[in-house]
Structures are given as C-alpha cells and as structure tokens.
Amino acid sequence: MNDKKMNEEKMDEKVVDAEVSAVEKSTTSSGTPALVEKKRRLWKTIALFWLVIIVVFVCVMWCMVYFFPGKSSNALRSWFVHHLPFPVAVAHVDGKWLSVPLDQYEDTVAAAKHFFGKQTEYGLSIAAQPTDAVLREQEYDRELELAYTEELAKKMNVTVSDEDVDNYFTQTILPQASSEDEIAQTLEDLYGWTVVDFKKNVLYPVVLRQKLNDALASDSSVDSSAQSTAEDVLAQVKAGEKTFEQLAEEYSTDTGSASSGGALGTFGKGVMVASFEEAAFALEVGALSELVKTQYGYHIIKLNSRDDGAGTVDASHILIGFETVDDRIEEITTSAKVYKMLPHYPVVEDTTTATENPYVDADAETEDASTAETNVNAEASVAE
C-alpha cells in the first residue's frame, strides 16, 4: 500500500515536472524573453544606424560650410548657413559664450561686394575697392565688434526696439530722399538690400551706439570718476613735480594733442566749445585754469600767449575724458578669448588696393551718431 502510494507521488512529481518543462518550452518557443531581447537589439541597431547617418550628415554639412564653400552647391550651402546656427566666431567673455552668426557675416560681405560691383558698373568712385581677403577681414571685425557692443548693452540694460530704428529712419534718413521708394531703389541697386536689411545692418548698430552713449552720459559714476582723476592731475600740475607738458603726455585722453604736451595752437573766438573758450580767454598768459567741464570731459587749460590785436590765444590743455562706449568695448575685446571660424573661401586674385570699409561713408546720415568717439584731436575735442 505504501509502495503504491509512493509510486503515485513519484508519478505526480513527474507529471508536474513535465508540465513545468512544457511551460518553459512553450515560453521559450513563444519567444517572450527572447523576443524582448531580439527587439532590444533591433532598436539598438536602428538607433546606431541613425546616429551614424546624423554624424555623417553633420560632417558633410560642416565640410560644405567651412572647408569647401567654393566647391559646394551654393543653394544647399546657403540653406544650411541661413537655417542652422553656424558661427563665424565664438568668444568667451566674462564666463559667457558669444556667437557671431555666419549668415549675417556672409550677407554683409555679399552686400559689400555688390556695392563695389555696382560702383564699377556705374563708374562711381565712392570708395576704393579692398581685396577680397581684406574685405572679409573688415566685415569679420565689424560683426565681432557688434557682438561685443550687444554684450555691453546687456550689461548696461540698454535695448533697441524696432520702433527705435524706425523712428531713426523716419527722422534722419527719410528727409534726405524724395520718398521711401527712392531709398529702397538705391539700396537695391547698390547693396542688393531691402529697407529692412538696411535697418538691420546699418541703422540698428548706429541706434544701439547712440543709446549706449546716452546711458553713459547719464551715469553719474562716469562723471565722478573723470572728475576725481582730473582733480588729481590738477594737483600734480600745481605741485610742479612734473611739467604741464609731461602730465599732458601721461594723462591726457586727447590723443591729438597729448603727444605734443597738450598744445592746441592758436585759435580765435567761435572755434572752441563755449565753456572752454570762455575759460581760455579769461586766463592771464602763463596761468592755469581750474577744471573746465565740457561734453568731452574735464580740461585743465594753460594759456601760452595772447594776441589782442588778432583776437586770438595760444593754449594747451590736459583732457581727462569721460569713459566712452569704445573704452568699454575695448575692455571686452581685451578680456575676450576668441575662436575664429572663418570658412576656407577660395582665394580671389585682386589687383585693387585695400582702403576703407564701404559702409563708412556710404550713408553720411549716420555720421552724427558715429562721431561720439573716445578720443578727439587737439581742436575737435573742444571745438563746437
């Protein structure tokens, strides 16, 4: 009886084992764990395949844009440049990365080339044509400086709206032409630009600088810093340990006169800024003025001689100028670590001589905004 019961139990165990084995075989044959693994491998293969495709595509784009710009399809390369964020330079400034867009750089180069081509076609002589390499370098420098100017604007919380640019166009540019259509036609002919392009490439930087200059002019710390330095220099002049001329060479920010000891030469009334003129003509020969403030900064004036018959005086000055936009941009330029990424453009043989950038004088209306420079020459620094 016991043997029979044991045999039945063994039989039951064998049946259970057989069923488990069958289930396992069924699971394996149905592929549940194996299928999951197979699918996983398949997705890895697909992902790897697309990763390779993407890497190859990026490499091809990179080569077309940077290494073979002259041999690549112009239309395809242009699409890449204008729709993807390729830089012509990246700069590390104060812990931040700045990018100079390649599309903007190439558009300005194209506009400059268009300008020179039309100049030759029309027989104009507005500006001498630079070599291709020099032209590209000029535009590169301009775009990099614009990036620095925009970074300075962020630091100073200065912004330029479309309305600001439109107002400048309406108030300054439009009155110089018979109509906006005339301006649009001129821009199209000479630069291949629309009015919108002109506002973006020319007027926006001008208005940005204007607003930065206004912000600095209203910054009391800029005034107090210049005044403090000027007071220190005046004290040194009066102490006599160094001559007026030596101190002018050392401290004066008027680069036009500093190297000659601050000498301005002879001038009459109506030439200099009113406050400067009044102080200079009030001095006795050989005397020094106290600090004289003008829009350029603080002046220390020395009267060298007077000709009452001619109504002229000969004077020297030491100018401690206010900090300017150019000064602050120079600080950024000096501290920036720049990685230049100019494409390998085909070498163009040029026989022309490089001179100025075509935008400098192409729009005389921007002159007022661009004349707020850091240093002025001997007479311009105090002339009306």
pTM above 0.85, yes or no: no
- Judged against a pLDDT cut of 80, whether residue 29 lies above it is answered with no
Report the distance separating Cα 228 and Cα 10, nearest Å. 108
Average pLDDT over residues 191-196: 94
3-state SS assignment for residue 276: helix
Convert 311-333 into a string of H (helix), E (strand) and C (coil). CEEEEEEEEEECCCHHHHHHHHH
**What tens digit of pLDDT does each residue of 337-362 get?**
999 999 988 877 654 443 444 333 33
Interatomic CA distance for residues 335 and 94, integer angstroms: 8
Among 112-121, 140-149, 330-339, the minimum mean pLDDT is found in 112-121
pLDDT at 11 over 70: no
If you compute the radius of gyration of the chain from its CA atoms, what whole number of angstroms results? 36
CA angle 292, 296, 237 (to 5 degrees): 45
Mean pLDDT of the residues in the chain: 84
User: Tens of pLDDT along 255-278?
Assistant: 999 999 999 999 999 999 999 999
Residue-wise pLDDT tens digits, 221-255: 999 999 999 999 999 999 999 999 999 999 999 99
Categorize the per-residue pLDDT at 25 as very low, low, confident or very high, splitting at 50, 70 and 90: low
pLDDT value of position 362: 35
> What is the mean predicted confidence (pLDDT) over 123-139?
84
SS3 48: helix
**C-alpha–C-alpha distance, residues 39 and 47, integer Å:** 12
In sequence order, what E strands does 171-291 have? 263-268
pLDDT of residue 18: 56
Helix pair angle (132-155, 204-217), 10° resolution: 40
Q: What is the DSSP letter of 288?
A: B
